[in-house]
Structure 1
Amino acid sequence: VSKATKVDILVTPAVTLGVGGFVAMLLCPAVSWCMYWIGDFVNYATTIMPFFMGIIISVVVGIVLTLPISSAALCAMIGITGLAGGAATVGCCAQMIGFAVISFRENKWGGVVAQGLGTSMLQMGNIVKKPIIWLAPTLAGAVVGPISTCIFKLECTGVSAGMGTCGMVGPIGVFADMGFNLTSILGVLLLCIVLPAVLSLAFNEIMRKLGWVKTGDMQLDL
């Protein structure tokens, strides 16, 4: 209908919104059912296969966090809870803390704050140029995921699970679900901060020695 009438500046958005809303109403029940089914499957599979699902969820949700899409929205849409939510949380933390630490040479403390408490998505431009820099935080996520599901059994729910250390929402979500106790405190400290930092740094140093990653590859304009 664009440019079909003299009042198309009013008609075009009205028709677009109307058609879009109608299609959304038609598809919403089916899409919602699919999302909840996926969420139920993920949550159930994590309880019966905690090791492998811990790896998969941690890596996948962590990758989604760094991509220019919303990991928080993904976790909310599929209704991720329990052990699966815990794995998602540590996977996101691994990406954020990992990039904050391994890019310290280039970005100093500004990069630590921007990525560790902000978002690892800042590295997306550098990842497109050199994808190998993504490997260290992702491997760290693959390690801490099953430790979360099998040993500490961290739990988190919904949006919090996809936020990582952004504003410390992920760790706070773990405390909200599990309470403030020795297991949750140690789990958050080790799996959300210490191990992601140590593992990412170790993997990255190996890749630097191999010449796969060089100084300047993770430079940000801060």
Structure 2
Amino acid sequence: MKVLNGISIAVVVSLIPQALLGELAKALLPFWSGAATIIAITGLASSMLPAMIGILVGMQFKFTPIQTACVGIAAVCGSGVAQVDPDGGFHLQGTGLVINAGLTAAIAVGLILLIGSRLKNYTILVLSVIVTLVAGGIGWAVTYPAVKALTVWLGGLINGATTLEPVLMGIVLSTLFAFLIVSPISTVGIATAIFMEGVASGTANLGAVATGFTLLIIGWKANGFATSILHVLGSPKVQMANIFSRPITLLPILSSAAILGGIGGAVGISGTPISAGFGISGLVGPLAALNYEGWGWSTGNVIIVALVFVAAPIALGFLFTFVYSTLLGWVKPEHYKLDFE
């Protein structure tokens, strides 16, 4: 749970700048050259996610600055965010494999706890060497290939659903991505790996949208406005620890996603490989749908997109909050409480 909490906070810190400003800056780029700087630095912030995961996981265990920094280095090594450039140095792109960054951070934490205070005055000289080579090396050479293979397999499984009838495909993909968006697995990484396109991408994106709005509504009383809106404007991944500690909290999310995905499949909501994993943050999903071939910015299309991306998920969020919280009492707002202190 401490590792998942660390990942959740890291997601907020590293990904929110790009989620809020990325698409806006791209839209402003033809008219304002300064937007390129915003795109660059928010993109760099997102690539810092593995380092933030390691540091914030270390803080969860109340490590010393040296120990925390060691976990951060190990997490970067295991994430794959930095690939060796044949011409020298490293090529930094994307966020890496979030799940392996978290796994490597956990290995580093275990190693540091095992070492304890045995190094004494030699800690500053030796600890970073041990953690980097052992935990970072395991993440780099052992777990990364395995996790990457798992990601590819999962992508192939999801790709199989794209051959289904549109409404059924929408239900399946939306539900799958609703689960993935609250897991350590990168929805964007999966979608881009299998080049998810068209209605498959659009309905997968709706899974993230449904998750964001449902979490906003069902946890409102416990989290208040500022924290609740993170689920929509940022990423629902902030709920990872809560979801995994109490799996029944998935029910409102998956129920909402299934219906919204079916609606999206019926009306043909489409998207790109990049938009599939983003939800509505930065308006990535709605803009991709409107700009997709065969759609366009007609009044009718704008209304359809507004209904599917905003009105419907809000209505479904209230519906399943009533069903699972008020009527059945299976979940409570406190189950979705977030604490970033």
TM-score (norm 2): 0.52
Match of 1:171 among 275, 282, 286: 286
Residue type matched to 1:210 in 2? L
Provide the rounded CA distance (Å) in 2 between the counterparts of 1:70 and 1:198. Answer: 27
Match of 2:308 among 191, 195, 200: 191
Pairing of 1:98-177 with structure 2 (within 5 A): 98-150=214-266, 152-177=267-292
1:181 alignment counterpart = 298
Q: CA deviation at 1:42?
A: 4.3
Q: Once superposed, which parts of structure 1, at least 4 consecutive aligned residues long, lie more than 3 Å away?
A: 33-43
Provide the rounded CA distance (Å) in 1 between the counterparts of 2:247 and 2:263. Answer: 26
1:220 alignment counterpart = 338
1:83 aligns with 2:199: yes
Kept in 1, the 8 Å contact 2:218–2:333? The answer is: no
Kept in 2, the 8 Å contact 1:67–1:121? The answer is: yes
* Residue-by-residue CA offset, 1:50-96 (whole Å, 9 max, x unaligned): 12111101110121111111101111111111111111111110011
* Residue-by-residue CA offset, 1:149-187 (whole Å, 9 max, x unaligned): 11x211101011110012221112212213222343223
> Is there any run of 5+ residues in structure 2 with no aligned partner, and where?
1-128
Q: 1:183 to 1:77 in 2, by over 3 A?
A: farther
Provide the rounded CA distance (Å) in 1 between the counterparts of 2:153 and 2:239. Answer: 32
Kept in 1, the 8 Å contact 2:161–2:172? The answer is: no
Aligned length: 199
Q: CA deviation at 1:127?
A: 1.1
Kept in 1, the 8 Å contact 2:220–2:333? The answer is: no
Q: 1:81 to 1:217 in 2, by over 3 A?
A: same
Residue type matched to 1:59 in 2? T
1:92 aligns with 2:208: yes
1:59 alignment counterpart = 175
Q: Percent identity?
A: 27
Q: CA deviation at 1:34?
A: 7.8
CA RMSD for the aligned pairs?
2.9
Provide the rounded CA distance (Å) in 1 between the counterparts of 2:223 and 2:156. Answer: 42
Pairing of 1:198-217 with structure 2 (within 5 A): 198-208=315-325, 209-217=327-335
Provide the rounded CA distance (Å) in 2 between the counterparts of 1:37 and 1:73. Answer: 13
Q: 1:34 to 1:91 in 2, by over 3 A?
A: closer
> Is there any run of 5+ residues in structure 1 with no aligned partner, and where?
1-8
Provide the rounded CA distance (Å) in 2 between the counterparts of 1:35 and 1:102. Answer: 29
Q: 1:183 to 1:212 in 2, by over 3 A?
A: same
Higher relative contact order (CA 8 A, sep 6+): 1
Q: CA deviation at 1:101?
A: 1.5
